[in-house]
C-alpha cells in the first residue's frame, strides 16, 4: 500500500498593532485562520504570507504601521493589510504598491477572502482546531471583550467614525456567550472595550435579549450586572461620561464589577471642549466625580487629555491643570495634539506650535505626578487581592483592581517568587512610588 505524501499545511504570519479594539479584531481573524486549518507562524521565514493589522489614528501610528508593512514585505514578500490604516488604502498603496490586498478595520470576512485567494485553505473536516474561546493574543488569565463597533460621535480631532462607521452594538446574548466561554477557558479578568462603551445598545433602542433563559436589556448597566455574575474581574474601558454612567457606580460599590473607570475627558476648558465637539462641563464632571466617590470610595479613575489643541491658550491650559487639582484623578495620560489626516480640527484657527504642545504635555504630566502618588498612598497598609502577571527569582509583578494591563502601574512583590502566574494572591501594600505599589504576600 503506497503512502500518501504529506501535505504542506499553509502557515500565516501575523502582526497586530494598535489599541485593544484592534487586538480583538486580530483575535477574530486568528480564530478563523485556525478554524480553517491554517497554522500561525511565529516568524516571517516560515510563513507563506503575512497579515498586518494596522493602526491609523495619529501620524506616529501611521508611520509605525507603514514601517511594519515594509518590514513584512522585505522579510516575506506576501502581505495582506487590514485595520484602521487599511481604510486609507491610497496611503498604503502609495507607500507599498506590492501588497496583495488592503482591507479596513473589523473586516474578518474580507481578510479571509484575500487569504483564500493567495493561500488556498486546507481541508480537514475531521479535526476541530479551535477551542470554544477562540484564539487570543492576551495571556490566558485576561481577555478583551468587544461589545460594539463604531461610534456616533464626531469629535473634531478623531477620524475613527470614518474608518469604523457608526455605532453597531453586538446582541447581548452573543456578548454573554463569549464572556462565558472566556471564563470557562480560565480567564480571570474581562476588560470590556469598544469605541464608546457607554453607548452600548443605543442603536438597538436597548432591545431586550435573553441570557440563561431570562430577559436582559441591551444596555451597559444590564450587561455589567450580568458580567458581574460570572465570578471574575470585570473592568469598563473607553467610557464616555454620559449621565447613565452614574447608575454603574453602585455595581462597583457592591463588588459586582471592578471599581475602575477609564473615561477620556480630553480637556476641561469649555471653549476647547466645544472646539473638540465634546459635550461636557468640567463643573458637572467634578460634581459627579465627588458623588461617585461618595458611593464607591475605592473608585479608580483613569483619563487622557490632549494638550496644544488648536486655539488652546495658556489660560485654557491653566484651567485644565485646575481641573486636575480638583478632580484628583488616579491615572492620567496626555498626548500633545497631532493633526490627523481627515480630522476637521485641522481646519481650526490658531494652531499651537509643536514645541508648546509638547511643553504643555510635559507640564501636565509633571503636575499630575504628585496627585497620582497621593492617590496611591491611600492603599498603603491595606490588604488587597492582586492578579499575578510575572514571576522570576527576584519576585513577582502583579496588578490590583486599579491597574489595567499595559497602561497602568503594577504591584511589585519582591518576595513573591512562589506565587502562581495568572492566579489571584492576597497581599499587604507596604509602599508606593509615582506609578507602582509595593507589597508583601500574605500566607
Q: Which residues are annotated as a binding site?
A: 19, 55, 84, 151, 155, 158
Q: Which residues are annotated as a binding site for [4Fe-4S] cluster?
A: 19, 55, 84, 151, 155, 158
Pick from 193, 105, 202, 106: nearest CA to 153: 202
Pick from 224, 232, 217, 225: nearest CA to 181: 232
Pick from 10, 31, 18: nearest CA to 136: 31
State the residue for C-alpha cell 500561525. Answer: 40
State the residue for C-alpha cell 495634539. Answer: 337
| CA pair distance 195, 98, nearest whole angstrom | 32
Strands of 199-272, DSSP E: 208-211, 214-217, 233-236, 260-262
Phi, psi at 246, each rounded to 5°: -55, -30
Show the cell assigned to 439. Answer: 507589597
Q: What is the DSSP string of 307-361?
A: ES-TT--HHHHHHHHHHHHHH--SEEEEEE----TT-GGGG-SSPPPHHHHHHHH
Alpha-carbon torsion, ordered 114, 118, 122, 128, to 10 deg: -30
| Strands 233-236 and 189-193, bridge-based pairing | parallel
Amino acid at each position: 500500500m503506497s503512502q500518501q505524501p504529506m501535505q504542506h499545511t499553509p502557515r500565516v504570519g501575523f502582526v497586530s498593532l494598535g489599541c485593544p479594539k484592534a487586538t480583538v479584531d486580530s483575535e477574530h481573524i486568528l480564530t478563523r485562520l485556525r478554524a480553517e486549518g491554517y497554522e500561525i507562524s511565529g516568524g516571517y521565514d516560515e510563513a507563506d504570507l503575512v497579515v498586518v493589522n494596522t493602526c491609523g489614528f495619529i501620524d506616529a501610528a501611521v508611520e509605525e504601521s507603514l514601517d511594519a508593512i515594509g518590514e513584512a514585505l522585505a522579510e516575506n514578500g506576501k502581505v495582506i493589510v487590514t485595520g484602521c490604516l487599511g481604510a486609507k488604502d491610497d496611503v498604503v498603496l502609495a507607500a507599498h504598491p506590492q501588497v496583495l490586498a488592503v482591507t479596513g478595520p473589523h473586516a474578518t470576512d474580507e481578510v479571509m477572502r484575500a487569504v483564500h485567494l493567495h493561500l488556498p485553505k486546507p481541508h480537514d473536516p475531521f479535526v476541530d482546531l479551535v477551542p470554544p474561546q477562540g484564539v487570543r493574543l492576551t495571556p490566558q488569565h485576561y481577555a478583551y471583550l468587544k461589545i460594539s463597533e463604531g461610534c456616533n460621535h464626531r469629535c473634531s480631532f478623531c477620524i475613527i467614525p470614518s474608518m469604523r462607521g457608526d455605532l453597531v452594538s453586538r446582541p447581548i446574548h452573543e456578548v454573554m456567550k463569549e464572556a462565558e466561554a472566556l471564563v470557562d477557558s480560565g480567564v480571570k479578568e474581562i476588560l470590556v472595550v469598544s469605541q464608546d462603551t457607554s453607548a452600548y445598545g443605543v442603536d438597538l433602542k436597548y432591545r431586550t435579549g435573553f441570557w440563561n433563559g431570562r430577559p436582559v436589556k441591551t444596555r451597559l448597566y444590564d450587561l455589567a450586572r450580568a458580567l458581574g455574575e460570572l465570578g471574575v474581574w470585570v473592568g469598563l474601558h473607553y467610557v464616555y461620561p454620559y449621565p447613565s454612567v452614574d447608575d454603574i457606580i453602585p455595581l462597583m460599590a457592591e463588588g459586582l464589577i471592578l471599581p475602575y473607570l477609564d473615561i477620556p475627558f480630553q480637556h476641561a476648558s469649555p471653549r476647547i471642549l466645544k472646539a473638540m465637539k465634546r459635550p461636557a462641563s468640567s463643573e458637572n464632571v467634578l460634581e459627579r466625580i465627588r458623588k461617585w466617590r461618595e458611593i464607591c470610595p475605592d473608585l479608580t479613575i483613569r483619563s487622557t487629555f490632549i494638550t496644544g489643541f488648536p486655539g488652546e491658550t495658556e489660560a485654557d491650559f491653566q484651567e485644565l491643570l485646575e481641573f486636575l487639582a480638583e478632580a484628583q484623578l488616579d491615572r492620567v495620560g496626555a498626548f500633545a495634539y497631532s493633526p490627523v489626516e481627515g480630522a476637521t480640527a485641522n481646519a481650526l484657527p490658531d494652531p499651537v506650535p509643536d514645541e508648546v504642545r509638547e511643553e504643555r504635555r510635559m507640564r501636565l504630566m509633571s503636575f499630575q505626578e504628585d496627585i497620582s502618588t497621593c492617590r496611591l498612598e491611600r492603599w498603603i497598609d491595606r490588604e488587597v487581592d492582586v492578579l499575578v502577571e510575572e514571576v522570576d527569582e527576584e519576585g513577582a509583578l502583579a496588578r490590583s483592581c486599579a491597574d489595567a494591563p499595559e497602561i497602568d502601574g503594577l504591584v511589585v512583590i519582591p518576595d513573591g517568587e512562589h506565587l502562581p502566574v495568572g492566579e489571584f494572591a492576597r497581599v499587604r501594600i507596604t509602599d508606593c512610588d509615582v506609578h507602582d505599589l509595593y507589597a508583601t504576600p500574605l500566607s
